[in-house]
A and B are shown apart, each in its own frame.
Chain A
Amino acid sequence: LHINLPTKLHLATKRFRNFQSVLSWELKNHSIVPTHYTLWYTIMSKREDMKVVKDCINVTRSFCDLTDVWVNTTDMYIPQVVGFRENAKLVICMGSFFLVPDKPLDPPEFEIVGFTNHISVNVKFQFDSPGILSEELQFYLAFIEEHAGNSVKRHQPQITGNITKNFNYVIDKLIPNTNYCISVYFEPKDPRKINRSPLKCTLFRPRRESESSESATIGGIITLFLITAVFISTVMILKRIGYICLRNDFPKVLNFYKLSVWVFAELPPLEKVATVEVIHVNRKKKVWNYNYDDENDIENEAAPHLISGGYTKHGLTGKLCPTSTTSPSLEDCSLEDCSEPSAEEPYLPEPKGDAETPMAPGPGPWQSEGTSGGYQTRGTLWQDPTSEEDSDSTEGSEGRIVFNVNLNSVCVRALEDDKDSEVTLMSPSCPEETVELEDLNETESSVLVASEEGTQLPFTNPSTECPRPQDAPSDKSDTSESDVDMGDGYIVRQVNLKKFN
């Protein structure tokens, strides 16, 4: 027998530490009261039979805790309460409950302003649709919590259903010189999880203070710091990669200011040379016919010889003027074998007496006083540094002069103002006045070149007046080589000179 009595089912959610769902029922007619109740339930999402709640079988209480039973918050539950009196069913009651998890409402924005005797809390609503807000706010309660030290006080401003604007709440009765922290939040009327806002604090003092400017100041300082940091880091990066502030302090090794190489358009020759003008003189070779009457002719003539390689060998005589005029041992000789003396001068730096000649990078010059062999040289001579020892060794010993001149293109001449200054290569007193072929051959490949030994090419001192070959006493030279054609012409030959002092 089922007696349907008016009943009322009520699902209440109580605020405890954890959210709980408690289903309770109430009979409207109290004339017939069941002695015990049993609770069943089912869901709408699936076709399932009623399930009994184990903790709610033949209970005398009129409520049942379903927290651990109704766990699916998105489903609709259909409970059924059956009231019994002894074994007879007196009442059957069913209902439907949709457990929608009421999401917490985000706290609103607010500002606090401290005054002399109160704190003003200005709550701002920043929702796009105020109408929806008013509908939703009816399900919520707004609370303002006041934290002062260890005490917490909660204020509940009255919110009507038509709120569309911000509202202001005043907190008074404050303790002077006390730090007050304010928090605003919405609490659902149907208790759920509350989402509290972070606390905002102010130190309450008898004078008016504003925290809004403080946060703006801090924000501005942080912004300025960030900007400065970004700017400095950018500048440092640009400097490091070389876009700005290029280095100008180059290493000294790269400093070309002090090098004399910039002065000249081309490097000076590595080897020391002396300018010699060769005056080409066509000489006819004469063969000595054992006639002593033709000495002068032989002295003054030097037949050019064609040499392989395009050079024309001519007889050259060079004169080494001794430092002392007391022992002029060499006859004067002159180099006159020159076709175009003005145009074909070899590019040799003009000696400047004792002046230094420009230095070219490379082996250091060997500056000689030109006293080797007792002869004074003019200017400085370049010498291969590898042959310094040889030159030192030759100093004081036999000198060696090698001339290698293309007589078709150069002029070899002692460049002196004094026309009489001549370069004497060897003693004119060599009995062999004619130029022997074999001697010429020896000198064939050594036309006015510095020998490997670095033979010094001495020149006469411009102040020294070299005796002419015809004037000088015929102090025979100790040359071991063939004689030289003296006179107006020059003889190209290899000459080994010895001391005459």
Chain B
Amino acid sequence: MASENLPQGSTRRRLSQPSSSLIFPMAFVLSLLMALVLVSYSSGRSLGCDLSQNHVLVGRKNLRLLGQMKRLSPRFCLQDRKDFAFPQEMVEGSQLQEPQDISVLHEMLQQTFNLFHTERSSAAWDTTLLEQLLTGLHQQLDDLDTCLGLVMGEKDFSLGRMGPTLAVKRYFQGIHVYLKEKEYSDCAWEIVRVEIMRSFSSSTSLQERLKIMDGDLNSA
């Protein structure tokens, strides 16, 4: 059977090729991907909450200030001791996720700030030390507010009602009730000061854990 070539007048049907409009989006995606690689490698910073060394130092300073605020020896207030049921397992436990850790820590700092930022507290403690303590607490709260915005997002309301945070709220509510019952005596404030030091010491463990988690993200 004889075969013939296509005459010049005939047209060949060409397969469709991707239009040029698809090339530019793909190039943009590629550039963005490369930029992300560069940024993540060069900066070495994680995308999560970053509690800096300064935050830990401020917390340590606040704890030391609480110790310096002692006005009488605790051994003279042994009869005023009270078990406030501090939720130590919830604060020091490792089963919490990072958003919950930050929420608990923020609640503790905020309640501590509210406890010492009253007129009765100003009457009970040294003004200079008290102001330094409140300044340090406020600085730690500012650091955590940034972390809460990054980590929690729209879930802040739900985390505020979760178990560990509610336990911390109930704990400080008991302290307020105790002070009221003891009529804000010196021994009552001393018992409260020691109790706050105890809870603050537990929160520093929580801060260390958050810093370790952030360090793991950076190294990953």
Interface residues of chain A, those whose CB is within 8 Å of chain B, are 42, 44-47, 73-76, 78, 94-96, 98, 100-101, 103, 106, 126-129, 132-133, 135-136, 219, 222-223, 226-227, 230-231, 234, 238, 242-244, 246, 256-260, 262-263, 356, 359, 364
Which B residues have a C-beta under 8 Å from some C-beta of A? 1-7, 10, 12-13, 15, 17-18, 22-23, 26, 30, 33-34, 37-38, 41-42, 52-54, 56-58, 60-61, 63, 67, 73-75, 78, 81-84, 86, 88, 139, 191, 194-195, 197-198, 201-202, 204-205, 208
Cα A135 to Cα B26 in complex, Å, equals 54
CA distance A101 to B177 in the complex (A): 29
Chain A: CB-nearest residue to B202: A74
Q: Are B38 and A223 in contact (CB under 8 A)?
A: yes
Known: A103-B56, A129-B57, A234-B33. A47 touches B6 (CB 8 A): no
Q: Which residues from A are CB-within-8-Å of B195?
A: 44-45
Choose among B7, B22, B202, B204 the residue that contacts A263 (Cβ–Cβ < 8 A).
B7
Q: How far is the CB of A366 from chain B (nearest CB, A)?
A: 13
For A226, list chain B residues within 8 Å (CB).
37, 41
Known contacts A132-B57, A132-B58, A223-B38; A101/B201 CB under 8 A: yes
B residues in contact with A103, CB < 8 Å: 56, 60, 204, 208
- Known A129-B54, A223-B41, A243-B18; contact A258-B198, beta-carbon cutoff 8 A: no
A98 to B67, CA, bound (A): 9
By the criterion CB–CB under 8 Å, are A132 and B61 in contact?
yes
* A and B contact pairs by CB, cutoff 8 A, 24 listed: A44-B191, A44-B194, A45-B81, A47-B78, A74-B198, A76-B194, A78-B78, A98-B67, A100-B67, A101-B204, A103-B204, A127-B53, A129-B58, A129-B139, A132-B57, A222-B41, A227-B37, A243-B22, A258-B3, A260-B2, A260-B4, A262-B10, A263-B4, A263-B6
Is B18 within 8 A of A128, CB to CB? no
Q: Are A44 and B81 in contact (CB under 8 A)?
A: yes
Q: A76-B194, A246-B15 are in contact. Are A96 and B73 (CB under 8 A)?
A: yes
Q: Would you call A359 and B197 a contact (CB within 8 A)? A: no
Contacts of A129 in B (CB 8 A): 54, 57-58, 139
Q: Is the CB of B61 within 8 A of A136?
A: yes
Which residue of the partner chain B has the closest CB to A104?
A: B208
Q: Which residues of A lie under 8 Å from residue B12 when comparing CB positions?
A: 256-257
Structural contact, B60 and A136, CB atoms closer than 8 A: yes
B38 touches A74 (CB 8 A): no
Shortest distance from the beta carbon of B17 to any chain A beta carbon, whole Å = 6
Would you call the interface of chain B mostly helix, strand, loop, or mixed? helix
Contact A47 B5 (CB under 8 A): no
5 smallest A-B Cβ distances: which pairs?
A: A260-B4, A128-B54, A74-B201, A47-B81, A262-B10
If A136-B57, A246-B17, A257-B6 touch, whether A44 touches B74 (CB-CB below 8 Å) is yes
In whole angstroms, how far apart are the Cα atoms of A226 and B56 in the complex?
35
Question: Which of A47, A98, A231, A238 has the most chain B CB within a 10 Å cutoff?
Answer: A98
- Smallest Cβ distance from A267 to chain B, in angstroms? 14
Q: How distant is A423 from chain B, measured CB to nearest CB, in Å?
A: 28
B6 near A45 with CB under 8 A, answer no
Which residue of chain A lies nearest to B53 when distances are taken between CB atoms in the complex? A106
Task: Give the chain B neighbours of A364 by CB distance below 8 A.
Answer: 1
Residue of A nearest to B139 (CB): A129
A94 to B75, CA, bound (A): 8
A42 to chain B, nearest CB (A): 7
Which residues of A sit under 8 angstroms from B75, Cβ to Cβ? 78, 94-96
Q: How far, in whole Å, are A73 and B92 apart by their CA atoms in the complex? A: 12
- Whether B26 lies near A238 (C-beta < 8 A) is yes
A135 contacts B61, C-beta separation under 8 Å: yes
Task: Report A-chain residues with C-beta under 8 Å of the C-beta of B18.
Answer: 242-244, 246
Q: B54's contact among A78, A101, A132, A256, by CB below 8 Å, is which?
A: A132
- A353 to chain B minimum Cβ distance, whole angstroms, is 17
Q: Which residues of A contact B60 (CB under 8 A)?
A: 103, 136
Which residues of chain A come closer than 8 Å to B198, judged between CB atoms? 45, 74-76
A244 cross-chain contacts in B, Cβ below 8 A: 18, 23
Q: How far is the CA of A256 from the CA of B14 in the complex (A)?
A: 11
Check if A258 sits within 8 Å of B5, measured CB to CB. yes
Give the complex CA separation of A234 and B17 in angstroms: 19
> Residue of B at shortest CB range from A127?
B54
Contact A262 B6 (CB under 8 A): yes
B17 to chain A: which residues have CB within 8 Å? Answer: 246
With a cutoff of 8 Å between Cβ atoms, the chain A residues found around residue B191 in the complex are 44
Verify B34–A231 contact, CB threshold 8 A.
Answer: yes
In the complex, A263 Cα to B18 Cα: how many Å?
30
Does the CB pair A227–B34 fall under 8 Å?
yes
A87 to B61, CA, bound (A): 46
Instruction: Other than A76-B197, A103-B204, A257-B6, give 15 A-B pairs with Cβ distance below 8 A.
Output: A44-B81, A44-B195, A46-B81, A47-B81, A76-B198, A100-B201, A101-B204, A103-B56, A128-B54, A230-B30, A231-B34, A243-B26, A244-B23, A256-B13, A356-B2
